[in-house]
Amino acid sequence: MRLFNKSQTLYQRYNMANVLTSKDKDYAQWYNDLVIKADLAENSAVRGSMVIKPYGYAIWEKMQAELDRMFKETGHVNAYFPLFIPKSFFSKEAAHVEGFAKECAVVTHYRLKNDENGKGVVVDPDAKLEEELIVRPTSETIIWDTYRKWIQSYRDLPLLINQWANVVRWEMRTRLFLRTAEFLWQEGHTAHATSKEAIEEAERMLGVYAEFLENFMAIPVLRGVKSESERFAGAVETYCVEALMQDGKALQAGTSHYLGQNFAKAFDVKFATKEGTNEFVWATSWGVSTRLIGALIMTHSDNNGLVLPPKLAPYQVVIVPIYRKDEEFEKVNATALEIQTTLRKAGISVHYDHRDTYKPGWKFNEYELKGVPVRIAIGPRDLEKNQVEMARRDTLEKSFVGIDALPNTVLEVLENMQKSLFDKALERTRQNTYSVDTWEAFQDAVKNRGGFIKAHWDGTAETEKIIKDKTKATIRCIELDAPDEEGLCVFSGKPSKRRVIFAKAY
RNA sequence: CGGGGUGUGGCGCAGUUGGUAGCGCACCUGGUUUGGGACCAGGGGGUCGCUGGUUCGAGUCCAGUCACCCCGACCA
């Protein structure tokens, strides 16, 4: 077994030089390079909007498939609501409009015409919309306007609907996957007869997200609730899962909101109870977005490129044939095809790259950049010994495996890698989650150490704001299982009943 | 919206005191190669972001304008 990562610098010198910026040198640049070089996405002609390329989209499709399965397993169905929302809908829920007004794209006209000077097309001023349309930044308003018509009786409840959609939030500054003007997501919107049911739903879906992130994406998360100032615009309570990235910054990976009766009241959605009274329904909404791809990258990847957990990889194994002449290729190809079939029968997704237009070394680097979990190289020397060379992406270890043992060995490695990626990320998160008790130590921790900082907070928005202004750290969440612990606010010195999680965030 | 930067073949860049555009990668053809991003030979491709000005002559100087990137404030 050869361990390249023990002599990483030498390895890189002759191998990956000039491909990716080193993580240690410039983490943000490393991230950008990786997204581009791994062929996940690129910037488009429209500022802040990205093209998700086939390889990146394949990862999103894997996520969608699993999440969709989980949503359906918990009783939800999919539907689709319009992209355009009448402007008037937005003003119906005060907090909601307040939260989103500053980043809405607005459709004002519905027609173009040829420019009179013969230069291209211009907006036809005669085609002004009576009521302007908002491009959805989220769908609560249009959905609740619709739910009013769907809900009359307790027998219509609970209403458990999800939609897969794109949304637009006109952000000042954007970054591929992490924050773009348009992004893809799913948004669940549910209606319930009681507050208790709605809270249970919000908590259930937070659990679904946590399970998905941890078991599927191998990303450990904290489960918690947001402070008032970080709460979703229009929610009574916002639950969240927060993950810690390799650079010590937190990333909100998913949110689930208990909306109380806010939207029901704003859109007049009432139902007849068994007892014959009329009551407003109780609501939730919850979502995760293509931002998760950013979380994926920043949790597992390294200086050689993307590292994908096997459950998410568009293909789990790539086979690279090695040969000199046509006769050699014939033999290698025959065996490679057999291996491909065997692995596929074992339920493993396999890509066999027999292109003659790239050399093996080029392919090795390419698939490392793309994070394919297992690479199998097979050449004439292997044929003689009835073996292949197997390389594992996360550790960069290479080993020789007998062809007969292949499917089982690969399955073991994939399983092991899935677990190992999670364990590694969990260990990193644990080592970077720590308590701080004084203001000096807090400032130092935010500035020099990063990570999840557990500190006492007096519970006021004022203190939270001052801490944010002074340190750039925000309250990521109040952990659901945070133990009661008397203490003094790290900033104000006022009494606090438990610690909350502070971090710098994406 | 403030600060900084950049616009030159597909990508990354060079271009001196103004003289009519070049390099690397990629691409195409042929050959040799193929176990960690091969090599040789030949070839194609750019009205230099846009508009105007100065000049015999502008990638280069001037003015304006647009776009994008990075750093802040705002946000998933």
Is the C-beta atom of A1 closer than 7 angstroms to strand B? Answer: no
Which residues in 449-488 of chain A line strand B, with CB less than 7 A from it? 472
Residue A359: nearest nucleotide (C-alpha to C1'):
B34
Residue A240: nearest nucleotide (C-alpha to C1'):
B76
pLDDT, mean over chain A: 92
Residue A138: nearest nucleotide (C-alpha to C1'):
B76
How far is A481 from A500, CA to CA, in rounded Å?
Answer: 11
pLDDT score of A17 more than 60: no
How far is A53 from A55, CA to CA, in rounded Å?
Answer: 6
Place of tokens 């000042």: A172
Higher pLDDT, A136 or A17: A136
Listed range (A1-15, A218-232, A287-301) with the worst mean pLDDT:
A1-15
Structure-token pair, residue A256: 């689930």
Is the C-beta atom of A192 closer than 7 angstroms to strand B? Answer: no
Query: Residue A89 CA to B28 C1' — how many Å?
Result: 57
Place of tokens 């030498």: A10
pLDDT score of A119 more than 90: no
Query: Residue A358 CA to B9 C1' — how many Å?
Result: 24
Place of tokens 């097309």: A121
Which residues in 362-401 of chain A line strand B, with CB less than 7 A from it? 362-366, 368-369, 377-383, 388-389, 391, 396, 398
- The pLDDT-based confidence of A122 (bands split at 50, 70, 90) is confident
Q: Give me the count of residues in chain A.
A: 506
pLDDT score of A2 more than 60: no
- The pLDDT-based confidence of A11 (bands split at 50, 70, 90) is very low
Listed range (A24-28, A105-109, A230-234, A313-317) with the worst mean pLDDT:
A24-28
Each residue's pLDDT tens digit, A53-96: 999 999 999 999 999 999 999 999 999 999 999 999 988 988 88
Structural domains of chain A sorted by starting position, each given as residue range(s) with its CATH number in brackets: 43-300 (3.30.930.10), 317-428 (3.40.50.800), 433-503 (3.30.110.30)
Q: What is the mean pLDDT of residues A207-217?
A: 98
- The pLDDT-based confidence of A117 (bands split at 50, 70, 90) is low
- DSSP per residue, A333-396: HHHHHHHHHHHHHTT--EEE---SSS-HHHHHHHHHHTT-SEEEEE-HHHHHHTEEEEEETTT-
- The pLDDT-based confidence of A3 (bands split at 50, 70, 90) is very low
Could you tell me what percent of chain A has a pLDDT over 90? 78
**For residue A158, cis peptide bond before it (omega within 30 degrees of 0):** yes
Query: Residue A357 CA to B44 C1' — how many Å?
Result: 20
Please tell me the predicted confidence (pLDDT) of residue A175: 87
Name residue A26's beta-bridge partners: none
* Signed CA dihedral, A263, A268, A273, A278: sign only: positive
Is the C-beta atom of A47 closer than 7 angstroms to strand B? Answer: yes
- What ipTM, to 2 d.p.? 0.88
pLDDT score of A246 more than 90: yes
- The pLDDT-based confidence of A20 (bands split at 50, 70, 90) is confident
- The pLDDT-based confidence of A4 (bands split at 50, 70, 90) is very low
Single-letter residue type at A386: N
Q: What is the mean pLDDT of residues A161-178?
A: 91
pLDDT score of A121 more than 80: no
Each residue's pLDDT tens digit, A414-447: 999 999 999 999 999 999 999 999 999 999 999 8
DSSP one-letter code for A193: S
Please tell me the predicted confidence (pLDDT) of residue A98: 86
Axis-axis angle for helices A406-431, A291-300 (nearest 10):
90
Residue A376: nearest nucleotide (C-alpha to C1'):
B35
* Signed CA dihedral, A93, A95, A97, A99: sign only: negative
Angle at A173 between CA A168 and CA A178, to 5 degrees: 70
Which residues in 283-302 of chain A line strand B, with CB less than 7 A from it? 289-291
- Residues A195-203: contacts with CB under 8 Å, at least 24 apart: A195/A260, A195/A282, A197/A158, A197/A282, A198/A258, A198/A259, A198/A260, A198/A282, A198/A283, A198/A284, A199/A237, A199/A258, A201/A158, A201/A160, A201/A284, A202/A237, A202/A239, A202/A256, A202/A257, A202/A258, A202/A284, A202/A286, A203/A239, A203/A256
pLDDT score of A323 more than 50: yes
How far is A388 from A322, CA to CA, in rounded Å?
Answer: 11
Listed range (A16-25, A178-187, A198-207, A427-436) with the worst mean pLDDT:
A16-25
Could you tell me what percent of chain A has a pLDDT over 70? 96
Q: SS3 for A250?
A: strand
A16 CB-side CA count, 13 A: 25
Higher pLDDT, A124 or A219: A219
- The pLDDT-based confidence of A118 (bands split at 50, 70, 90) is low
Name residue A85's beta-bridge partners: A134
User: Which positions in strand B are less than 7 Å from the protein's CB atoms?
Assistant: 1, 33-38, 67-76
The answer to whether A351 and A319 have CB atoms below 8 angstroms apart is yes
The answer to whether A367 and A375 have CB atoms below 8 angstroms apart is yes
The answer to whether A262 and A278 have CB atoms below 8 angstroms apart is no
Is the C-beta atom of A246 closer than 7 angstroms to strand B? Answer: no
